[in-house]
A and B are shown apart, each in its own frame.
Chain A
Amino acid sequence: MSKKTTRSAKPKPDPDANIDTAAQKSTVAGLKKVLYISEKILPDDNQLLRLDRFYHPGKGKDALFLTNPDGQIMELLEYAEPRRSWLINSEICANGRVYMTIPMDTTLLAIHHLRKHCAQRAMSLDNIAVHEASTSRFLTQFIDSNGLKCVADAKTSGDLTFYKYNQERTLAWLALKTRHVAEILKQKQIHCGHSAQSQNFVRSEKLSDNVVNEMDYGRMACDIVGRYLDSDLHDQLIGYLHIPSEIQAIVEEKTAAQKRKSQVGLEGSNSKKIKLNSHDSDAASKLKLSGLLDSKNGKDCITSPPTMEPLKERSMTAKEKALAKGAKGTKSIASFFKVN
């Protein structure tokens, strides 16, 4: 036992760590796959499920969906970590992925086809994309007409219903969806901020309420909804919800932090001033003084070329003096870059 613990305490990096015991090695015909299947889509006694490929606007290409002859459809997600594999009974399964069916609103996928075909005129579903078999099958078999009415104007004539894409309704509908998602993100305390954070820490300390703000949830939710949309529609949704981009948010946060820092600095200098000129209690003169200092510094920066001379003229702080003393006899760093 002691031997085992010392071994385990010092794990060596072994690039091809595998556990094939040569004696028992035998290849298994066919690859196994681990699938989490929703109980809602499980087949009856005489039904078989199918995996179908339909166009996925977020990916810009076909993706796999699990379908049931009843007209139920679920998206197939794949969870893959770089180094994972399964042991299934007494077999090794090198495919360490987990496939998972997730419920999906088919209206989200239908929006792409409506925008493409029904932006100008109303069409019935079986007239859209007649030459694309999979799209046609998708539209006629898996679309929920109630959902479709949320993103399109429907006109019924006899047995046929014609749909025309309605941008206003679509964006409002997507905004509601985004809000639903944001709520669940908040409820599940999923961390949505742009800075990395230890999940364990957040969870155990219950700090997440203070750390992540509303907008981060909104942005994450919008991105999740956007996974199903054409990119231009996603951008429109971002505009509709007034969500600032993540970069913008980071910049704003940084400037806020800097402001705070400079405010602290200002306060610090003020208090210093008060100590230095304790006899001069006039606030206006203090302000002028600091303003003068600023402008002088600014002038120095603009007019003087980056040489050592103007620096000497300026009164040096003790720190700078010490630095200059240490630098005596050494070359200026600029000299290394001169092309002479």
Chain B
Amino acid sequence: MSITLDFNGKNLAKGKSLHLHYLPAKISGDGEANVETYFNNYTREAPEYGSGMLNNALRGYPLVGERMKVPEGYKGLVLQETEKPLSESTDRQLRLTGVFDEFTYWNYDKVPSNGDPFRQAMLMADVAKALSEPISEQDLEAEIRRNLESKKENDS
């Protein structure tokens, strides 16, 4: 079984730019919605919450949001699987719907801050980068010597 991402560099460069909202609600069901008329039209700037903050409402529930960039060094993609796999072993393909560099992040009745799980999760990219940095032979040798010495000290 393999999953192929069915796009190359050329497709990416020409990819349609998408307008995204990250909503703080569980929605059961995918489908078309009149987002422009009933949601985008009501997005207002809300400087009382801080610079760049926006507000809106979803079914009467107050939302506070902000424009958020895709982390540095990353590109945002929306992929779509055209047909559901019949079994685990069939080859699958994910097609490119579009790309984005920015989206609107919405919180329910809470000003977006560094305390939000989403922002904290994005720090994982930096941590992973630190973890993946190769370690030089010299550093490794030094560490082995250091450990041996500290062992000797403990024994004596």
Contacts and interface: CB of A to CB of B under 8 A. Distances in A.
Contacts of B71: 36
A298 interface: no
A44 interface: yes
B75 A39 contact: yes
Given A30-B83, A85-B26, A91-B33, A103 B134 contact: no
Contact of A104 (B1, B10, B132): B132
Contacts of A87: 20-21, 23, 33, 35, 39
Interface of B: 1-10, 12, 18-36, 38-39, 57-62, 70-71, 73-84, 94, 97-98, 109, 113-115, 117-118, 120-121, 123-135, 137, 139-140, 143-144, 147
Nearest to B82: A30
Nearest to A179: B143
Contacts of B74: 36-39, 100
A66 B94 CA distance: 13
Top-5 shortest CB links A-B:
A199-B115, A102-B128, A51-B3, A184-B130, A87-B21
The residue among B84, B109, B115 with the most chain A CB atoms within 10 A of its own CB is: B115
B100 to A, nearest CB: 9
Contacts, number: 281
Contacts of B94: 33, 51
Contacts of A25: 29, 31-32
A46 B8 CA distance: 6
A110 to B, nearest CB: 13
Nearest to B61: A11
Given A17-B26, A168-B147, 4 more contacts: A11-B62, A19-B27, A21-B33, A31-B30
Query: Secondary structure of the B side of the interface?
Result: mixed
A283 to B, nearest CB: 40
29 contacts: A8-B57, A11-B60, A18-B28, A20-B27, A26-B31, A27-B29, A33-B79, A34-B78, A42-B75, A43-B5, A43-B7, A50-B3, A84-B25, A85-B25, A87-B21, A94-B26, A103-B132, A105-B132, A146-B134, A149-B137, A173-B135, A173-B143, A180-B130, A180-B131, A183-B130, A188-B123, A198-B115, A203-B114, A240-B147
A225 interface: yes
B22 to A, nearest CB: 6
A175 B140 CA distance: 9
A172 interface: yes
